[in-house]
Amino acid sequence: MIRSLIKHEFKLTLTSKKNLLFASLLGILLIIYAFVLIDHDTHPESFDPEAKQFELNEIEAQQETRRQTGNTGIGGMSGPVHNNMAYYINTHQKQMRAFENDNFRRYTVHRLDYLTTSGRTEYVGGDLFMESPIPGKDQQHLYDKTLLRLQSYLNQDHTINYSMLTENTALQQLQKLLSNSFVYIIIFIFIFISSDALTRDKHHKTLLQGFPTSWYLMLNVKSFISYAYALLLTLGLIGLGLVLISSLYGFGHLDMQIPIKVNFEMLGIEHYEMISISELLLKSSILLIIITLIFNRLNMWLSLVSRNVGIVLFVSTFFLISEIIYSSRTTRELFGIELQYFPQTYFDVGQSITFEKNFLINVDNINFQQGITVLLITLFIIEILFFLTSKWITRQKFFQT
């Protein structure tokens, strides 16, 4: 009996116009992202040999004037300008040659050497993060992370390529998706698919009203089917994205290292630790599974109570994006309670695992374990609420209005 219910529900979900269209829209957006948007994205590590050659020629001309006028010594305020510039030209010529020969290990060695000796100004003090209220701190953070990232490539034996340096390989793009607010799209897929799992039966009253299973079991089957469908869709989209981006920019390696800042009080390279990309993926999939379960059950509960797709979608989406309303770099409490106790803090999955959230708001208590605890408690509360409501709003009550 249950098997035929599952079959019926799955067919309904699979052939639903709404789900098919949503999936194809996401597919189109993904293709646009892979083929157009990545290409137009600028990364601070991107390298343009022609522009660099032009710049080097200009500096070389200045060097010539310095030599002619005899200004090759140490200036009072500016230091050994001629010497510094000679180093600049030398290291960049090496980088350029390595770049042309596709020898990216050598390129990375010289790039890293330049960044540690005098290239800090490319990150710190420039116009990166100008929108942020604390640009200096963010610039230093990005600079430290870049140094550690490049060094970790050199420590490993994999071949280094240009798309690895500019974080364009498939795995790095997946990491980027998990580490910013675009991860909300993944959660929204689950909200959207499960939003009408129950309410679509409103117009087919006779079909399910006489079905000889308990009401709670039937609700669970519906919830399970919509969850499975959304999971398949998400995995399919991620798979498609990985294949597309891999074919354009390469796949990357599962043991690539990501720097995470463990000490929130101090800035500097020694306060970082490294985790591998596979660890990040594993931890974020655990968090994502719990979060999506929360939304799936929340949607079922809302459908039971309101019987209206619009309300379900609206309330769930509002809960999903509620952090945007109050979040700022100085908000550490909401209604006098610390942010670590709110489930929506952990919806930015990647940021809470890599302690990025701690860095942003200067706290040290948002982490993976705390996230699991808070999210599981939320899931438990919603589960109990759902069970009680299903006893209160019975099948007869639900289909009557």
Residues that bind other proteins (CB under 8 A): 17-18, 21-22, 25, 28-29, 32-33, 36-37, 40, 62, 65, 69, 71, 78, 81, 133, 196, 306, 308-311, 314, 324-328, 330-331
**How far, in Å, CA of 104 to CA of 108, rounded?**
6
Residue 53 has, within 13 A of its CA and on its CB side, a CA count of: 7
Between 293 and 339, whose beta carbon lies closer to other proteins?
339
Sign of the alpha-carbon dihedral angle for 194, 196, 201, 202: positive
- The neighbour count for residue 5, using CB atoms within 10 Å, is 18
> Counting runs of H as helices and runs of E as strands, what totals does the chain give?
18, 4
Q: Which residues contact 384 (CB under 8 A, 6 or more apart)?
A: none
- Least gap, CB of 131 to other proteins (angstroms): 9
Between 10 and 22, whose beta carbon lies closer to other proteins?
22
Between 4 and 65, whose beta carbon lies closer to other proteins?
65
Between 32 and 388, whose beta carbon lies closer to other proteins?
32
**Residue 269 is encoded by which pair of tokens?**
């390279």
DSSP string, 259-291: EEE--SS--SGGGEEEEEHHHHHHHHHHHHHHH
Between 79 and 268, whose beta carbon lies closer to other proteins?
79
- Strand-pair partners of 79: 75
Q: Which residues contact 401 (CB under 8 A, 6 or more apart)?
A: 307
Between 34 and 287, whose beta carbon lies closer to other proteins?
34
- The neighbour count for residue 296, using CB atoms within 10 Å, is 24
Contacts 24+ apart (CB under 8 A), 330-339: 330/133, 330/361, 331/361, 332/361, 332/362, 332/363, 338/363, 338/365, 339/363, 339/366
- Least gap, CB of 158 to other proteins (angstroms): 32
Between 4 and 68, whose beta carbon lies closer to other proteins?
68
Q: Which residues contact 62 (CB under 8 A, 6 or more apart)?
A: 85
**How far, in Å, CA of 35 to CA of 32, rounded?**
5
Between 127 and 270, whose beta carbon lies closer to other proteins?
127
- Least gap, CB of 58 to other proteins (angstroms): 9
